[in-house]
Chain A
Amino acid sequence: MKKKTSYSESIKQAIDEEMKADNSIFVIGGETKMFGSLEGLEKKYGKNRVITTPISEEATTGLILGAALSGMRPIQVHIRVDFMLLAINQIINMISSATFGSNGQMKCPLLIRAVVGRGWGQGYQHSKSLHGLFSQIPGLKIIMPTTPNDAKGMIKQAIRNDAPVISFEHRWLYWQEEKLINDYDDVNYDIPSKLNSGNDLTIIATSWMNVEASMACKILEIKHNISVDLFDFRSTASLNNLSIIFESVKKTGRCLIADNDWLTSGLSGEIAFRIQENCIESMKSPIKRIGFKNIPCPTARNLENYFYPNAFDIVRMVESTIGLKESSLEDFDLYSHEKKFRGPF
């Protein structure tokens, strides 16, 4: 029986396979362990291809742009999304417009990987996601792989891509495991991936919220006999390929978007707008959204639990939307990071 592979190991395999095939690829960052996702690569490829830098985020991001424009394929890593913000000038003023500014003549093949932190008191400077903010910028491709297979395939395709790609990787997903298909070249990751099939409701989720939404699907099936179409919105390129979601919403008439980000002016609003524009005549109720509370992330556990939405919140929102009586959720346990993690980071 084929063994399961973790999300972290999948990313490592992707980078390893690509580095082996192309010596213009190198990894660079202030921390080049990245929770096991670069394990052994420095030893295998040397310090010139897995480069540990001083804590100089803006210069390092400028470096990868200069490398990309001069024929290399760099991969920059940030142990937290929040640290990437020191390089926002390079990302938004420089990288996003490099190809466009050259009248479309210059390639800009670079990948930035950034970890979305959560739990054990990460607080407001170690927990941001911000894929919504970056998805506003023309010239950047945003990916948010959720499963180990998607992580491997999307990272491999991102490295080969001639455009700048930013990968938002949720910290808790690094432990997820599944059997790998190991055939990624022909997979189109620019369309949403269907994780569950049903007829009564459409849920669109990003990143970790796919885990919460999957659990909510099971609860709704058991408690209310409600079946759900669940879509993993794994890249912002999916915004150009929403027909699979439109078909689902026209079938179910109801839609909920679970975004692992703040809601205000965010990606969830953009998706909702496009759905209403195409599906309004089939809608039985307004589109619902669930995401972070509109506050910076607090540290203490009870406050943190208030900040993040979970599977129970999704269930309650669905019950309210459809007009169902609240079911007992005593039989179910929420995913708890605390059972697995004792710090420090």
Chain B
Amino acid sequence: MSPNKSNKNFKNLFEIVALISSCENIIINKYNENEMKTPMHMSFGDENCIAGVVESLRFNSFFFGYYRSHSLYLAISKDPYSFFAELLGRKNGSNGGIAGSMHMSSYKNSLLNLSAIVASTLPLSLGAALSCATLKEKEFSTVFFGDGALEEGVFHETLNMACLFKLPIIFVCLDNDLAVDLKKDYRQGFKSIEDLIKSYNCEYLHLDNPDAIQSYDITEKAKFIIKEKNCPVFLHLKYYRYLQHIGIQSDFENHSDNSFEKKNYRSKETYNEYIKKTPIDFLYKRLLNEGFKKKELNTIKKKYLNLTENFFNEARKDNFNIAEDLEKKVFFKK
């Protein structure tokens, strides 16, 4: 079931992770120039999880995300120009500069909605799953969310209805153990996520390491289960969030005065361990073990570093949307 080197799927995964890593690094480098005026929840850490899931579902699923979805947008669209243009508030941004970092969408790629409100896109996956059955344009409905979403009422309403109606939904829980700066022990009154999900008529699959290849494999398995068992699947993917809840700093740097997060709420030692093995480094080593050559992988990394820098600079030259046209966009016009 793993992606096969001969059909270049391993390479595709590495290209996606390289694209995401390069884009996130550019944001970190350019953030303090204060030209990207939009609150950003950085993806740094979840690249491998996202790349695997998206690559498996690219052509046969509707997608919904949440406020931390830079990886998701880039993996689905593979379009750094529209990504940067949106962060810069420009006309040719994914959403014309109207949406910013937290609400990007890509209608042509079936990324239908992101939301800045925790758990709010979860129930949208129900409707897209019904659409799959009627219109048959897609087979699956996939929704991404953080572990904090499990404490929202609408998560339980959605999971209940998905199980009751036996809908082809893949719930992708990106678990970094934190809701802003609060760990699970301080916010979850149930035994475990696994126990909770298994109490519903839903299949539970988990991955403790953010490995793009395993993430791809587990998503393939989820698709198989949905068809065989006629029930939704919950993918529990753990990863380490390198940066603070919002913004480009780690938890351990000196925060500016306007930061609302606490400091030192997790271990510096753990952070130091993780920063030595970033997601792209992890996949790089993994692919060396699979027989890829350093030269080939380095070429891909370099390609995306140059390419994304160029796209950022091009996006910067784009015009802003015309404010006077905004009223025409409130309702859809044919």
Contacts and interface: CB of A to CB of B under 8 A. Distances in A.
A54 B113 CA distance: 24
Interface in B269-284: none
B123 A60 contact: yes
A23 interface: yes
Interface string A52-72: 011010111111111111111
A108 interface: yes
A84 B133 CA distance: 27
B96 A106 contact: no
- Choose among B112, B122, B124, B154 the residue with the greatest number of A CB atoms under 10 Å from its CB: B124
B95 A101 contact: yes
Contact of A162 (B121, B133, B135, B332): B332
A99 B331 contact: yes
A54 B127 contact: no
A48 interface: yes
18 contacts: A56-B161, A59-B158, A63-B123, A66-B125, A66-B141, A67-B128, A69-B113, A71-B135, A90-B123, A94-B117, A94-B120, A99-B332, A101-B98, A103-B321, A104-B96, A105-B332, A138-B330, A162-B331
Contacts of A64: 127
Contact of A54 (B96, B128, B164): B164
Interface string A79-123: 000000000011001100011111111111000000000000000
B332 A104 contact: yes
A148 interface: no
Given A59-B158, A90-B123, A94-B115, A70 B332 contact: no
Nearest to B329: A104
Interface residues of B, number: 49
Contacts of B224: none
A29 interface: no
A154 B120 CA distance: 30
A90 B122 CA distance: 11
B305 interface: no
Given A69-B112, A107-B332, A93 B120 contact: yes
Contacts of A72: 127, 130-131, 134-135
A74 interface: yes
Given A54-B157, A70-B112, 19 more contacts: A24-B134, A26-B130, A53-B161, A59-B160, A59-B161, A62-B126, A63-B124, A63-B126, A65-B123, A66-B124, A68-B127, A90-B123, A94-B115, A99-B331, A102-B95, A103-B96, A104-B333, A106-B105, A162-B334
A201 interface: no
